[in-house]
Amino acid sequence: MVASEVRNLAQTTQSSVKDITDLVDNAYDKINKATETARQSQEIFKDLKAKIDETANIMKGISSAAVEQQSGVEQVNRAVSEMDGATQLNNTLVNEAEAASKDLVVQANSLQDAMNFFKL
């Protein structure tokens, strides 16, 4: 009976050792998988950081281009304003030239009338 108990105890111990070994192996496999997943996550985060840095550089470029574009638009606005002023000045000069031409026509007609007084 004692031998039977010892045999049962030995078999239970052997079964428990096998279960513990299986649990340790299973834990080891899970640790290896978790380690690989962590490495993959690290690579993903490195790639993500590189893409974020690249996007930030692109945004800086866009911002710089927008500032330059704004400066260009301001220069164009100034040039258009100056052209508008020159156009208004030209319009005034044309109106004055028209008035002077009309005055000259009146004076020329007056001179012609005066010359008609003298018959040649």
Which residue is it, tokens 């000045």?
A: 89
Which comes out higher in pLDDT, residue 10 or 58?
58
Where in the chain are the domains?
1-89
Say what the pTM is: 0.51
- Candidates 103, 95, 98; CA nearest to 111 is 103
Instruction: Give the model confidence (pLDDT) of 60-95 as tens digits.
Output: 999 999 999 999 999 999 999 999 999 999 999 999
The answer on pLDDT for 29 being more than 90 is: yes
Alpha carbons 49 and 59: distance in angstroms, whole number: 15
